[in-house]
A = this chain, B = another copy of it.
Amino acid sequence: MAEDPTSAEDRLIARHFQPIATHPGALGLSDDAAFIKPPAGCDLVLQTDAIVGGVHFFPDDAPRTIAGKALRVNLSDLAAKGAKPLGFLLSLALPKDLGDGWLSDFAKGLRDDAEKFACPLFGGDTTLTPGPAMISVAMFGSVPEGTMVRRAGARPGDLVFVSGSIGDAALGLLLRRDNPEWKLDTAQRQHLLTRYLLPQPRNVLAEAVRTHASASIDVSDGLVGDLIKLCRVSQVAADINAVQVPQSDAALAAIAHDAALRETALTGGDDYEILCTVPPDKAASFRAAAQTAHVPVTEIGTISAGEGVRFRGAQGQVLTFVRGSFSHF
């Protein structure tokens, strides 16, 4: 009689991850692959992003928030593309010494977000690694055929909108890493730290983006850099009023203490807000749809013909940024 080679780890994974695999095509994770029939008349939207311990999260972060971050950085991309989540594949590489409790907590975090965002697990792969934990997610969503909102598509005259507030996560990372003396109160500190720790992707805004935006990108590498990417692919220029860029009380307090942090806020990453361009005749409707979705959106500038991205300060002067010194523009 051949013995069952199922390892304790396999069983643990089946126990923790099966409850997240709620779609019938996931076959309860009992197979090598899953199958799905995309909604009729829809395109499938495909996207992948990975997070690595010591690079995208601190190894001592709570496993639940690590799981949440792994899913949410991907959910944020779907939101910016106007897509509705369908599900995800999970590829886990874990150090040997993490232990059962870690995996159990990680799976709980994953399950909470899979439910919250209606995005079930379709399958996965787990392996040990001599390196740091790495969590790679491949996520798929759907849009009515031909309606995925791209980086390309911004037109001269379009208005530039951004959701939520910008810079909190980049400041939160500095706060976490260097513990600087910014004289923030407890609530302000907590706000910045939390915004770094666990993204709040704007999936409730996806439908409004899809039906109004000419181009869109999620702000993951910093507002400045991501706007440059959008403008380059759209072959347009942008003029941004830096003072109109929405910032939280906490971020403003930090910047009031140290003016150099304004650049950190504008060029830092991990915002997971949506940056999109909207034709002027759709702007009022977009604002209304965002309000219905309970997501603040702010007009920060305009698209024009040409190339390049200009951020202007309160006196109209063009701001220069130290970060990202190489230029194609």
Question: How far in angstroms is the closest Cβ of chain B from A296?
Answer: 22
**Contact among B25, B134, B311 for A43, CB-based, below 8 A:** B25
Q: Is the beta-carbon distance between B33 and A43 smaller than 8 angstroms?
A: no
Q: Is the beta-carbon distance between A321 and B131 smaller than 8 angstroms?
A: no
Binary B-proximity of A212-236 (CB < 8 A = 1, otherwise 0):
0000011001101101100011000
Q: Is the beta-carbon distance between B1 and A309 smaller than 8 angstroms?
A: yes
In the bound assembly, the distance between CA atoms of A38 and B140 in angstroms comes to 13
A45 within 8 A of B: yes
Binary B-proximity of A106-147 (CB < 8 A = 1, otherwise 0):
000000000000000011110111111010101010010100
Binary B-proximity of A31-67 (CB < 8 A = 1, otherwise 0):
1111111100001111111111011100000000000
Q: Is the beta-carbon distance between A129 and B127 smaller than 8 angstroms?
A: no
Question: How far in angstroms is the closest Cβ of chain B from A204?
Answer: 18
**Contact among B38, B127, B145 for A55, CB-based, below 8 A:** B127
A186 within 8 A of B: no
A91 within 8 A of B: yes
* This chain: copies in complex: 2
A4 within 8 A of B: yes
Q: Is the beta-carbon distance between B130 and A55 smaller than 8 angstroms?
A: yes
**Contact among B91, B309, B320 for A138, CB-based, below 8 A:** B91
Residues of chain B lying within 8 A (CB to CB) of residue A25: 43
In the bound assembly, the distance between CA atoms of A267 and B125 in angstroms comes to 20
In the bound assembly, the distance between CA atoms of A31 and B215 in angstroms comes to 10
Residues of chain B lying within 8 A (CB to CB) of residue A152: 27, 30-31
In the bound assembly, the distance between CA atoms of A202 and B220 in angstroms comes to 40
Interface residues of A (CB under 8 A from B): 1-8, 25, 27, 30-38, 43-52, 54-56, 77-78, 80-81, 83, 89-91, 93, 122-125, 127-132, 134, 136, 138, 140, 143, 145, 148, 150-152, 217-218, 221-222, 224-225, 227-228, 232-233, 267, 308-311, 318-321, 323-329
28 A-B pairs with CB atoms under 8 Å apart are: A2-B228, A2-B310, A2-B319, A2-B320, A3-B320, A4-B324, A4-B326, A5-B222, A5-B326, A6-B324, A27-B152, A30-B151, A31-B233, A32-B47, A33-B78, A35-B46, A35-B143, A36-B44, A36-B46, A37-B43, A38-B38, A48-B91, A49-B125, A52-B127, A93-B136, A125-B136, A134-B136, A138-B138
